[in-house]
């Protein structure tokens, strides 16, 4: 979903740039609390994994493709503030070195993938965790649900920006239907990849998964309670 230079006009790009700068600024202040000495190395590795995952375009039919956005995945593994930083670093490297995503559109891309994608993924994950059974096995399921929803919502957010500052007059409803339709399909791929990767990390070391912390803490308390 990398927006190139030119899709959005200058005022809109400046505005998203300001929103992205404020969002990343807050994330820089908050991310430290999501990581401890044991989990800190996860952040760099998750960012690297998201970069790699974004290179794998999977076909979604009719000559189009999609790839992992990674917002929900990163949020569940290392926490939403850290995830915003992870995705922003990925977008920065892609924009500067891979010519993927515009430089004037960097703010737009951080807003869409690093903020909307991450936070919608995280909040839907949290909501899904509340209704699902409180067991570790449900963490990947909830992550997949968050991932599934995050992609079409980010696509809808792009449509909103395009309606405000698109450089070509195209009917908003046409763009909305096409963006959300295709990105719902891409969201299914996002859900599968996110679910599988979270399941693998939860199976290996659930104590290092940010989105499973409450379950681990509850388990430790139970063991302590039983021992006393």
Q: Which of residues 127-186 bind other proteins (CB under 8 A)?
A: 155, 158, 162, 166-168, 170, 174-175, 178-179, 182-183, 186
State in angstroms the smallest separation of the CB of 51 from other proteins: 4
Is 6 a binding residue for other proteins by CB under 8 A? The answer is yes
Give the relative orientation of helices 138-165 and 10-30 as an angle to the nearest 10 degrees: 150
Q: Helix, strand, or coil here: 103?
A: coil
Of 126 and 132, the one with the shorter C-beta distance to other proteins is 126
CA-to-CA distance for 108 and 152, rounded, in angstroms?
16
Q: Residue 83's CB: how many other CB atoms inside 10 A?
A: 33
Q: Which residues pair with 111 in a beta bridge?
A: none
How many residues bind other proteins (CB under 8 A)? The answer is 73
What letter does residue 3 receive in the DSSP assignment?
Answer: P
Query: Which residues within the stretch 72-111 sit at the binding site for other proteins (CB under 8 A)?
Result: 82, 85-86, 89-90, 92-100, 102-103
Task: With CA atoms as reference, report the closest residue to 105 among 205, 8, 212.
Answer: 8
Site string for other proteins, 44-73 (x = CB under 8 A): xxxxxxxxxx-xxxxxx--xxxxx------
Between 53 and 146, name the residue whose CB sits nearer to other proteins: 53
Q: Is 31 in the site for other proteins (CB under 8 A)?
A: yes
Measured distance CA(36)–CA(85) in Å, rounded: 16
């Amino acid at each position: 979903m990398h927006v190139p230079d030119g899709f959005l006009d200058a005022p809109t790009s400046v505005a998203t740039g300001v929103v992205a700068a404020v969002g990343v600024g807050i994330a820089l202040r908050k991310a430290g609390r999501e990581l401890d000495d044991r989990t800190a190395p996860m952040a760099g590795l998750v960012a690297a994994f998201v970069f790699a995952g974004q290179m794998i375009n999977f076909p979604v039919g009719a000559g189009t493709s999609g790839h992992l956005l990674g917002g929900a995945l990163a949020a569940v593994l290392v926490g939403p503030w850290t995830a915003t930083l992870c995705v922003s670093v990925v977008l920065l490297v892609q924009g500067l070195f891979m010519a993927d995503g515009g430089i004037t559109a960097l703010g737009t891309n951080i807003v869409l993938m690093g903020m909307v994608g991450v936070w919608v993924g995280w909040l839907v994950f949290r909501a899904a965790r509340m209704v699902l059974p409180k067991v570790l096995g449900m963490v990947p399921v909830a992550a997949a649900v968050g991932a599934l929803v995050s992609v079409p919502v980010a696509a809808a957010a792009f449509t909103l920006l395009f309606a405000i500052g698109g450089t070509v007059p195209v009917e908003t409803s046409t763009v909305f239907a096409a963006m959300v339709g295709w990105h719902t399909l891409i969201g299914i791929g996002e859900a599968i990849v996110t679910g599988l990767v979270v399941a693998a990390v939860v199976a290996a070391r659930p104590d290092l998964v940010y989105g499973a912390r409450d379950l681990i803490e509850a388990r430790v308390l139970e063991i302590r309670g039983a021992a006393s």
